[in-house]
Amino acid sequence: MTGVVSTSDMAIQDRIFGKPLATSEERAEQIGVGAGIPIFGLDALTSAAYGPEAALALLIPLGMLGTQYLLPIITSILILLVIVFFSYRQTIAAYPSGGGSYTVATENLGEKAGLLAAAALMIDYILTAAVGISAGVTALTSALPKLQPHTLALCLLILAILAVVNLRGVKDTGTAFIVPTFLFIGTLITLIAVGVFKTFAAGGHPLPVAAMPTPLPQTVQYLGLWMLLKAFSSGCAAMTGVEAVSNGVMAFREPRSKNAQYALTVIIGILIVLLYGTAWLTKHYQIMAMDPDQVGYQSLLSLLVTAVFGRGWFYFLTMGSVLLALALSANTAFADFPRLTRAIALHDYLPHVFVLRGRRLLFSHGIYALTGLTAVILILFKGVTDRLIPLYAIGAFLAFTLSQAGMVVHWKKQEGEHEGRTWHMLVNGTGAVATGITTLVVLASKFRAGAWVTALLVPTLILLMYSVKKHYSRIRDEMRDMCALSLENLQEPLVVIPMAGWNRISEKALRFGLLLSKEIKVVHVHSEDEAHGIDQDWDEKILAPIREQGMPDPELVTIPSNFRFVIAPLMDYILRLESENPGRKVAVLLPELVVRHWWENMLHNQRVQVLKLLLLVKGNQRIVVVNIPWYL
């Protein structure tokens, strides 16, 4: 049974997802720099809330001495960030139609490098969505412990809200996220500005407004190379999401490249201020990160706000904005994942459904896929995904490296055609080397902590994409080189009509069958539970009218079913008929009731759907399935 969409159902969809947009309305859906910051920059910006803490947490064994090393570590990360920033500015200019790592790597380094970038980015985006939502809910449950038993439900609720908002289109998404994004930025910049002022006013040694937790005792006397590398690699989580703008250039209004570059510049500029300011205040206020398993655990950001402002209204405003921004930071994945899957699908490495644009001019199936995969991760980890944070930095840096290496090749191809080619190659080459080394450092230092999972998932995804490509290649080989229309061996098909009883639906199917062929087989599966079969209506209501018109008699085939099976006997009969008549088409007409409302399907059996599926799966080129609908 099949349902039809009513006008009221359409009205509900319009309210939730917005009215369908015509292709000609695409220009109105494009965004400017202001909306581009929350859509493509929220993931990168919110990393300021956990990036410095991720690095400082690895220095806990050093006690308060660890705070002295945080600023140099963050500074080295910022140097790397600036290198990547200039590299991606060049990528945006060179690829105004969207220069994500997959596109750049595929066009310049080849198919295998492109698939490696694609797999790394898909894992990065899925983990970004899961970790972002989980981090926001964790902040909420930390402030309101009574909600902790409902962590998973809250995560799934936020995921559903993000999916719905993104299905409304890019413009509506930017509008919805502008306030939370700039509230987050405003409160953190205020924190840094006031903290810096108090530090200078106190001669470089400010006193916290409220008492700070006692740091754990020092267990390591000096900073070793391995500890430094681990702290650096953990802090590199602050750089995830930087590539988002280059993937989404097509979302900006003209001039696209310039607007995308402006948006990237603003995002990176704000991120530098937030990361350096947080690290600087941490050093001067002498605040050490707490062990997450420690009783009364507070995040580094919570401790900083408490130290500068105390636990007044600004504390709760700041932590509320952090909570909201972290939960919504998953939106960057929603903005870029559909564009990435579309680019991959255009090369036949993912299902072509990812190329289709939905009712609001966006690639809806990419949003569906990201929502489903993120939900699976949240359910598997019960909404607590903090252990996944080290994993998605690997995917991001691998994508960085391949993109920058691809840009070096791109500029090399422009020999004699582009001014400043050598400078561009130097910038992208420096970026490739720096991010490549960082990838190896992150992989080595985080391998036992779970990086091996990413190392395993990437080749698995690549093999999956190769299998999809193989499928489409086989189809293309079968369908190519069409000659002129062949009219050989044309004859009427054998028509099979499964019939449970004589009614209006059966009559419609039989009338259509009489138009198709002179050889019709009406098949009735008879169970001992039935008082009578179709035979009592056969002569009077079916054969008599046909004979009056001088038409050939259809054949009634009654199949006994002692065990009340229906589908299996029908399938056996149809397949046997096909094998006994080589060269003939077998047309199976399936009478089907179409109900007005989707829920009415539950009031009817679904044998027609099952039979249709089995015929498609087990059939061949000579079996044709025809639906005969009856609309209620």
Predicted confidence (pLDDT) per residue in 256-309, tens digit: 889 999 999 999 999 999 999 999 998 888 888 877 666 767 778 888 998 999
Nearest to 568 by CA among 555, 559, 577: 559
Query: Which residue ranges does the chain devote to CATH 3.40.50?
Result: 494-631
- What pTM was estimated for this model as a whole? 0.75
What CATH architecture does domain 494-631 belong to? 3-Layer(aba) Sandwich (3.40)
- 503 three-state secondary structure: coil
pLDDT at 148: 78
In this predicted structure, what is the pLDDT of residue 218?
A: 63
For residue 525, give the DSSP letter: E
Is residue 66 within 8 Å of 60, Cβ to Cβ?
yes
CB-based contacts of 222, cutoff 8 Å, min separation 6:
62
CATH number of 27-473: 1.20.1740.10
Q: What is the pLDDT of residue 275?
A: 92
Q: How many whole angstroms separate alpha carbon 159 and alpha carbon 153?
A: 10
Q: What is the structure's pLDDT at 59?
A: 80
Per-residue pLDDT at 598? 78
Numbered ranges of CATH 1.20.1740.10 in the chain = 27-473
How many Å apart are CA 615 and CA 575, to the nearest integer? 9
- The stretches in the chain having pLDDT less than 70 are 1-29, 99, 142-143, 169-174, 216-223, 292-294, 296, 359-361, 384-392, 415-418, 449-451, 481-482, 528-532
pLDDT, residue 511, reads: 93
What is the rounded distance in angstroms from the CA atom of residue 521 to the CA atom of residue 58?
76
Q: Do 109 and 412 contact (CB within 8 A), yes or no?
A: no
pLDDT of residue 508: 93
pLDDT of residue 587: 93
> What are 196's two structure tokens?
């810096």
- Determine the Cα angle at 436 with ends 434 and 439, to 5°: 110
